[in-house]
Amino acid sequence: MTQVNLRPNETQDQLLKRFKKKVMKSGLLTSLRNKRWFVSKSETRRMEKKKAIRRLRRKRRMPMDE
């Protein structure tokens, strides 16, 4: 459970922004979206493999700073 406490002299907007950051960092929404539907293990592996390939391609395109 993500929880934030109101700091002295903090506006509601700042509090909400801090809460959103905490939720995003915890990965709570991502896990909820993933658990919305059943995904078989083979499908999960296939998706992870695609992600890895995309990550490698992006990494190759990026110029190295050396």
6-60 pLDDT per residue, tens: 999 999 999 999 999 999 999 888 888 888 999 899 999 999 999 999 999 998 8
Which is more confident, 14 or 62? 14
What pLDDT is stored for residue 64 in this prediction? 64
What pLDDT is stored for residue 28 in this prediction? 87
Statement: the pTM of the whole predicted model exceeds 0.75: no
What pLDDT is stored for residue 62 in this prediction? 77
At 6, list the tokens: 């109101």
- Residues 19 and 7 sit within 8 Å (Cβ to Cβ): no
